[in-house]
Amino acid sequence: MTAFAAAIDVLFADPNVARDAVWRAGGSAEGIAIRLIRKAPDQTVGFGESRAILPTALIDVRRSEVASPAIGDTLDIEDETFEIIASPMIDGLGLVWTCEAAAKP
């Protein structure tokens, strides 16, 4: 294990940073318990001469827990369900996936 992988594991174990969740491949597979970091930065989108600020949900998951996340996968965080809506991106070290998600009604 590299020092970077060990540091990532510490972050994902911290209850102030990460949360427990259940990941479902394809949205319907049997769920697996994971730890994730949820981020909610605002995104500025241009519409002609106007700009709108839209809330986004980004979910970081460790590659060691979710090997290949995909659009359509779902995750349950407490009483909320989210669906992955864009192609996940892996970090430069190949340790953490960042997934854009939307709340499911």
Q: What is the CATH number of the domain that holds 70?
A: 2.40.10
Range of the domain at 41: 3-103
Looking at the structure of the chain, the number of domains it has is 1
Q: How would you write the pLDDT of the chain (105 residues) with one tens digit per residue?
A: 799 999 999 999 999 999 999 999 999 889 999 999 999 766 666 777 777 666 678 999 999 999 999 999 999 999 999 999 999 999 999 999 999 998 887
Tell which residue, 101, 94, 103, 96, has the closest CA to residue 39: 101
42, 54 contact by CB (below 8 A)? yes
The structure's pTM equals: 0.84
35, 65 contact by CB (below 8 A)? yes
91, 3 contact by CB (below 8 A)? no
Task: For residue 30, report the phi and psi dihedrals to the nearest 5 degrees.
Answer: -60, 135
